[in-house]
Amino acid sequence: MAPSTAMKAESRLSGLPTAKELKQKIALKEAERASHWAREQTAAESEKEALLERFSTPSGVSDEERLERAIAIINRAANNSLTEVEVVRFPNTLCTDRGRAINQQEGGWERTLTGVPKELFEFWLKYLRPNGYRLKVQIVDFPGGMPGDVGMSLSWS
């Protein structure tokens, strides 16, 4: 004896979730996504704070070690036919004026640098500039329309 059409439909309907169950499932998924995003934001903030702390204190890197790193970066870029390379990107809070002088391209902007960015600028002045390397320092992003990170690029064309 074959099951009736109504019985077949009822057995198929047993796997069909109700609209209320679907709403709950979607709400759960959205809560999971929000929680994941919040964890990622917290981790990113912690990472940024650690980087800021590391960049705001003396690096302890000797000029010899820094010169070895510069040579490696320059050679790698040149091997890839590049004439410019961004050597560091840092938060504008490492400038005493939060990057205003850099953004306005004011003379003396270099006096606003602190920590590692200041060390890198002084290294460029002492070793790279006399050998024809140029340093470009600029605001590289504008979150919410305000100056954000600062980028330092070395060029040799």
Q: What is the pLDDT of residues 49-62, one digit of tens each?
A: 777 777 778 889 99
Share of the chain above pLDDT 70, in %: 92
Task: Please report the pLDDT score of residue 7 as a whole number.
Answer: 62
Assess if residue 46 is contained within a domain. yes
The overall average pLDDT reported for the chain is 90
Same domain for 143 and 100: yes
**Residue-wise pLDDT tens digits, 104-116:** 999 999 999 999 9
List the alpha helices (DSSP H) in 57-128: 63-79, 100-103, 115-123
**5 in a structural domain:** no
In a 3-state reduction of DSSP, which class is residue 105? coil
pLDDT greater than 70 at residue 3: no
What is the residue range of 31's domain? 18-55
Which residues make Cβ contacts (< 8 Å) with residue 55, sequence separation at least 6? 90, 91, 94, 115, 116, 117
When divided into structural domains, the chain yields a total of 2
- Tell me the pTM: 0.69
